[in-house]
Amino acid sequence: MRSTVMTGHGMDPGQNKGATVGILGKLFGSNDATKDTISHAAPTEASGPQRTIRYDPALLNSLLHDHAELGALFERIGKLMQDGRYDEIRPELVNFKTRLEAHILTENVRFYTYLEQSLAGDTHNAEMMRDFRREMNTIARGVVVFVKKYQSPGTFDATLQSEFAADYQSVGALFKQRINREESSLYPLYQPD
């Protein structure tokens, strides 16, 4: 039996070109990011569930490393703000946003998809995982809005500096709380079958 590439819409490999764009839209623009992602269906027994993503023993370390890097980047932005070096903030904001989007893409495609499969019979943990996924995507959209607001060319006058400081604090608190909860509550669920 040969394996086929499927999407949530039943496409074959030749029809798969628009799927990647659809996934990115779901990850970063949709209100319901928990729906279909591309899956590579392997042949399975008719009675068993299909496994589309395999356990990766290095994935959690990679995601934790991302968290540390994202935290350091966000702290650097705060240090630049404290030092009044607003001209250096804009490129750091774009860097932070880019790294966050890459991290969330990895989480959505590799981590959350695997957990969805693994937790198929565990209603409580599956619902918690879906809530985390929606929340992280919401936070990512909030960070993108934050970055767009302050990446435009122009002068950081006193009013904009004050707004930036308030926004930086609220986005940072939400982001840090979310990362801590994810690492303590959700990452332990990522286990080999």
Residue 44 has pLDDT above 50, yes or no: no
> Does 15 fall in a domain?
no
Q: How far apart are the first and last CA of the chain?
A: 24
Give percent above pLDDT 70 in the chain.
74
Q: How many helices (H) and strands (E) does the chain have?
A: 6, 2
Of residues 8 and 94, the one with the higher pLDDT is 94
pTM above 0.75, yes or no: no
Lowest mean pLDDT among 14-28, 54-68, 129-143: 14-28
- Segment 173-183 shows an average pLDDT of 89
> Does 11 fall in a domain?
no
> Does 20 fall in a domain?
no
The whole domain housing 178 covers 59-189
Domain count, the chain: 1
Of residues 43 and 184, the one with the higher pLDDT is 184
> Does 169 fall in a domain?
yes
- Quick: pLDDT tens for 65-87: 999 999 999 999 999 999 999 98
> Does 10 fall in a domain?
no
> Does 14 fall in a domain?
no
> Does 54 fall in a domain?
no
Assess contact for 96 and 88: CB atoms under 8 A: no
The predicted structure's pLDDT at residue 165: 97
> Does 83 fall in a domain?
yes
Assess contact for 176 and 184: CB atoms under 8 A: no
